[in-house]
Amino acid sequence: MGQKVNPIGMRLGINRTWDSRWFATSASYGKLLHEDFKIRDFLTEKLGKAASVAKIV
């Protein structure tokens, strides 16, 4: 049996890039990561699935 691999993680170096591009110190990394998720959730909630937004970068 084969191993199941996340397709997005597999394609990151080939034909995709990271969804988020930002840098942080190790002390503030967790806080900024949480903030990134909150922003994405807010935009998805406000725009909705009917807005035809493929990706929030």
Distance CA(47)–CA(9), nearest Å, equals: 26
Local structure of residue 4 (DSSP, 8 states): P
Give the pLDDT of residue 31. 93
Would you say 33 and 21 are in contact if contact means Cβ atoms under 8 Å apart?
A: no
Q: Is 28's pLDDT higher than 70?
A: yes
Distance CA(52)–CA(44), nearest Å, equals: 10
Residue 27: which pLDDT band, with cuts at 50, 70 and 90? very high
* 17-45 average pLDDT score: 84
Residue with tokens 């949480």: 34
